[in-house]
Structure 1
Amino acid sequence: MRNYTFRSLTEADLPLMRRWLQAAHVKVWWPDADKQIALMEKDMDNTAIDMRVVSLINHPFAYIHDHDARAFPLPQYADLPHGARVMATFVGDNDFMGQGHSVGYIDAHVRTLRVKYPMVAAGVGTTDTRTISIYRQAGFKNRRLATTGEGRLVQVMTHL
């Protein structure tokens, strides 16, 4: 197992986040970099959401966040048990794509979360078969198809 580190996102990381969010492989699923950066800035002082930069050997390459399933009005997670966490992530550095890092750091992060929380969930776009496969490899199972508040269909996946 690789030794991934997860440090809190800071204001100093926002230029890096912007660069990653503008990368073609990220903006397909995380569109509108300006909106995403504004949300990150807004949530930096929000204790309900934990935003992290993922690194390997002191090289940052991914972003991950998690929050209580009921911290925000997200109908796709309404059926999850109290205390469940919801996560989302992306690999920003293209050099880390296709090498198993996504499965590795998601698995490492979920192991940490599962010590304190009964369930971890993710809502993946139904056409994003690559990400669905990555979550499955990290131990997630399909829970149900659900519609987001914006009307998108997602595959809700859970790690028990």
Structure 2
Amino acid sequence: MLEGPVTFRPLTRADLPLLGRWLEEPLVARWWAHETTPGALEADFGPAVDGTDPAEVLLALAGDRPFGLVQRYRIADFPEYVEELAPVVDVPPRALSIDYLIGEPDVRGGGAGTAMLAAFVAESWAAYPEADAVLVPVATGNVASWRALEKAGFTRVAEGPLTPDNPVDPPDHVLYVLGRPAGV
């Protein structure tokens, strides 16, 4: 259970060991399939920490306790990704996308993912006033992830084949979108 509102702060190099531990958690490892050596974590997350990667990586906190990770980026900053998505879904021209995980096992369930997603999207509208939507592809088998999206107000808009994050998964994905609310 979460105690306190969800806030965010940028990932730092000092957080990489924590992130490595989270990526080794069985429920996270199942969907992220990420190497957790110090070198792999530095190679994959160091550019975001330095601000040289267009993706932003932030920790989600409840009070002052980190419990999850969120990553956000303008889809248009990754033309190869737009090309992969285009046959499956109409990509809004100024869309963001997000990736996320709940790293602390005792925080999973009870709405933590939904609360994190809702707070992060609200923060994203303020951080990216030009963004018109948030588009999120999820492996079809990751039911907990897409249910959290639905509870946070996202709508399923497409299903189709995309490259899976974990090579053991089939390419089947569901795609969810949340448009910018009027007046926000």
TM-score by length of 1: 0.90
Structure 1 residue aligned with 2:47: 42
In 1, Cα distance between the equivalents of 2:144 and 2:46?
Answer: 29
In 2, Cα distance between the equivalents of 1:64 and 1:46?
Answer: 17
Matched, 1:58 2:69: no
Gaps of 5+ in 1: none
Matched, 1:20 2:22: yes
In 1, Cα distance between the equivalents of 2:157 and 2:4?
Answer: 28
In 2, Cα distance between the equivalents of 1:76 and 1:59?
Answer: 36
In 2, Cα distance between the equivalents of 1:5 and 1:20?
Answer: 18
Q: How far did residue 76 of structure 1 move?
A: 4.5
Structure 2 residue aligned with 1:90: 101
Which residue of 133, 148, 152 maps to 2:171?
A: 152
In 2, Cα distance between the equivalents of 1:14 and 1:59?
Answer: 15
Gaps of 5+ in 2: 165-169, 180-184
Counterpart contact for 1:3–1:57, Cα < 8 Å = yes
- Aligned pairs (5 A) from 1:129-148: 129-148=143-162
Structure 1 residue aligned with 2:35: 33
Identity of aligned residues (%): 22
Matched, 1:109 2:114: no
Counterpart contact for 1:114–1:120, Cα < 8 Å = no
Opposite residue 105 of structure 2, the aligned amino acid is N
In 2, Cα distance between the equivalents of 1:34 and 1:144?
Answer: 32
In 1, Cα distance between the equivalents of 2:139 and 2:4?
Answer: 28
Per-residue deviation, residues 12-61 of structure 1 (Å, max 9, x unmatched):
11000000000101000011323862321233333521110000110000
Counterpart contact for 2:25–2:103, Cα < 8 Å = yes
Give the CA RMSD over aligned residues.
Answer: 2.0
Counterpart contact for 2:137–2:176, Cα < 8 Å = yes
Structure 2 residue aligned with 1:100: 111
Give the count of matched residue pairs. 160
- With 30-39 and 13-22 compared, the bigger mean Cα shift is at 30-39
Structure 1 residue aligned with 2:7: 5
Counterpart contact for 2:7–2:119, Cα < 8 Å = no
Opposite residue 119 of structure 1, the aligned amino acid is A
Opposite residue 4 of structure 1, the aligned amino acid is V
TM-score by length of 2: 0.79
| Bigger Cα Rg | 2
Helix, strand or coil at the partner of 1:7: strand
